[in-house]
Amino acid sequence: MRHLMAISLGPVQSFIAAARRTRDLWFGSKILSDISQAAASAIQEQHGILIFPHEISGNIANIILFEIETADPAAVAKAAREAAGKRWRNVAERVLTNPGVSASIVKTRWESQIDDFLEFFAAWVLYPDDAGYKTQRRRVMRLLEGRKHMRLFQPSIETQMRIPKSSLDGARETVLKELRKGEIRPKSLRLNQGEELDAIGLTKRLGAGLQLYPSVARIAADGWLRGLLESRPEILKLLTAQCSGIGFLTRIAASQYQHFPFDGIVLYPDRHEDLIEEADDPEAARKLERLNIPELQKTAGIPSPYLAVLRADGDKMGALIADLSSAARHREFSRKLAGFSVNAGTLVEKHFGALVYAGGDDVLALLPVDQALACADALQRSFKECLRGIQATGPQPTLSVGIGIGHFMEPLEDLLGYAAEAEKDAKLPDRNGLAIHFHTRGGEPSRIRGRWDSEFPDRLEMFIALYTDGSFGEKAGYDLETCARRYDGLTGEAWLQEALPGEAAFVLSRKRGAALLPELEYLLRNATSAHELHKTARELIVARRFAGARREAAGKRLLA
């Protein structure tokens, strides 16, 4: 008897996002992908034929769809569940080999949380022939969704004392023993001051061993470092050699960061306390002082503290999948989507970013600000190219991209939230969008959005170029915003048709001392409302930020 079976593993978003460090974020994603791979491998061993994902490699999504010839689908689901649970257990048990962990946790609480973590749901339907694929696929996915809403909850275990919650999300109690007076946590736990972690958070923190994932500070500083490489390579060479001699500065293995393979926090002297606190070295402070970063920055400038978090998601993918008429076509779709996931990782690396995950049509990555727009454009082009021809009818698949930009000292949870808001903005109202939300510390964010197939991307690049070559003054965007504010609430007045474009043109030509470029004249002729001027002003404000980041990466901010 042939069946169509769907499996869902989790939790996903809440588990990945509950992180204070980029390393936790990346490894949380990797754990879930590894668990999905284990389940998919168990299904193949039961002679199941995968439909989605295409193959068991790289980052794979938490939804698995396959067909299988069996009289006992429940046994197949059980085997997949056991394989997933075993993979999760292996990761957790590896953490317990750390002496600092085994001596610092309440073992019964640890076991309870590890056992209660994994979510596994399965549904299946009879699938006698390909003619009924569309109907049966919809049916099995509806059954799976219904099953996910019928969760079985274990009875809570009452405690006789109040136990602190995990610092990451407050969902579970800490597994760390209460410290006695004068006790300190082992440095091997990599805990912040006062931080409490549950078993899941501790597994994410320590499960990858010593492998270092690029920090938000390293990604924020990457443009400055590349600018140094471009303009003063001898200074970068000396700095790298000095850092190589400091044993507690762990090297980053990623090839895109080999021009300076160390944590970027070392480039921000006001954050050196963080390094000193984590270093198992009584001479840490003196060694960092010897680098003399403040003196270096008198010559090279101060690295920008901003980085970009990019989230991308395919548009109307549900409708596209629902139109696939057979398992063979769905497998072809899965193959093309897997190709995009592989390309996404390559493109993020090419743009000096760090990939968190690329599974199916979802991408999450951290990027230097100067590279964010180019990477977003490359991703949406790759998505369209990889899925070209997959659908005989309907529009070409598109990718909406949200870019949230913030200061590296903002909580990682907030940085991820900025990107999630931008992605949501990119999707509305008509998808195929690019949205950029720039959050400065202590100020209101600047939000801009447009479609990939509109003039918006080219217009933004034009604004960036005009800032870069000095055609615009640094305050042009803010001046235009002030100008627009004077006309708020005025509509339908005939004189606005001339007054608004005329005053806006005066503001933007002040730096040039001459007539505006034809492209800007056209743009301002159509700016006949305060709303349109506000929109242009926001684009200018964001463009100025990108221009500054690109100048930094080209070494043009460096002093002679």
The answer, yes or no, to whether residue 156 has pLDDT greater than 70, is no
The pLDDT value given to residue 226: 97
pTM: 0.92
DSSP characters over 423-478: HHHHHTTTSSEEEEEE--TTSPPEEEEEETTSSHHHHHHHHHHHHHTTSS-TTHHH
Residue ranges of the domains in the chain? 2-148, 216-300, 305-453, 455-560
The more confidently predicted of residues 431 and 153 is 431
At residue 303, the pLDDT reads 94
The answer to whether the CB of 504 falls within 8 A of the CB of 524 is yes
pLDDT of residue 547: 95
Tell me what the pLDDT averaged over the chain comes to.
Answer: 88
- Please write the tens of the pLDDT for every residue from 23-72: 888 888 889 999 999 999 999 998 899 999 998 887 888 999 999 999 99
HSE of 216, CA atoms in CB hemisphere, 13 A: 24
| d(C-alpha 234, C-alpha 555), whole Å | 13
pLDDT at position 522, please? 67
Given pLDDT bands bounded at 50, 70 and 90, which one contains residue 560?
very low
Task: Name the CATH code of domain 305-453 (choices 3.30.9.40, 3.30.70.270, 1.20.1250.20, 3.30.360.10).
Answer: 3.30.70.270
**Predicted local confidence at residue 154, as pLDDT:** 60
- Kindly state the average pLDDT of the residues 178-185: 83
Express each pLDDT in 275-286 by its tens digit: 888 787 889 999
Rounded mean pLDDT, 474-500: 79
Over 90: is that where the pLDDT of 195 sits? Answer: no
Q: 137 falls in which pLDDT band (50, 70, 90)?
A: very high
Whole-number Å distance between alpha carbons of 11 and 119? 6
What is the C-alpha to C-alpha distance for residues 301 and 558, in angstroms, rounded to an integer? 6
| β-pairing verdict for 362-368 and 354-359 | antiparallel
What integer pLDDT is reported at residue 20 of this predicted model? Answer: 79
pLDDT tens-digit map of 95-133: 988 888 888 999 999 999 999 889 999 999 999 888 889
Please tell me whether residue 116 adopts helix, strand or coil conformation.
Answer: coil
Indicate the pLDDT class of residue 152, thresholds 50, 70 and 90.
low
CA pair distance 548, 306, nearest whole angstrom: 11
Q: How crowded is the C-beta side of 167, counted as CA atoms within 13 Å? A: 15
d(CA 109, CA 174): 8
Complete edge-to-edge strand list for the sheet that includes strand 354-359: 354-359, 362-368, 306-314, 399-407, 433-438, 446-451
**Cis bond upstream, residue 397 (ω within 30):** no
Which among 80, 91, 76 has a CA at the least distance from the CA of 32? 91
In this prediction, residue 484 has a pLDDT band, given cuts at 50, 70 and 90, of: confident
Given pLDDT bands bounded at 50, 70 and 90, which one contains residue 516?
Answer: low
**Could you tell me which residues come within 8 angstroms of residue 371 by beta carbon, excluding any fewer than 6 positions away?**
223, 308, 351, 352, 353, 553
pLDDT exceeds cutoff 50 at 474: yes
Report pLDDT for 23: 81
| Residue 135, SS3 per DSSP | helix
Assess whether the region 2-148 and the region 305-453 belong to the same CATH fold.
yes
Looking at the structure, give the CATH architecture of the domain made up of residues 2-148: 2-Layer Sandwich (3.30)
Residue type at position 394: G
pLDDT tier at 335 (50, 70, 90 boundaries)? very high
Q: Residues 517-545: what's their mean pLDDT?
A: 81
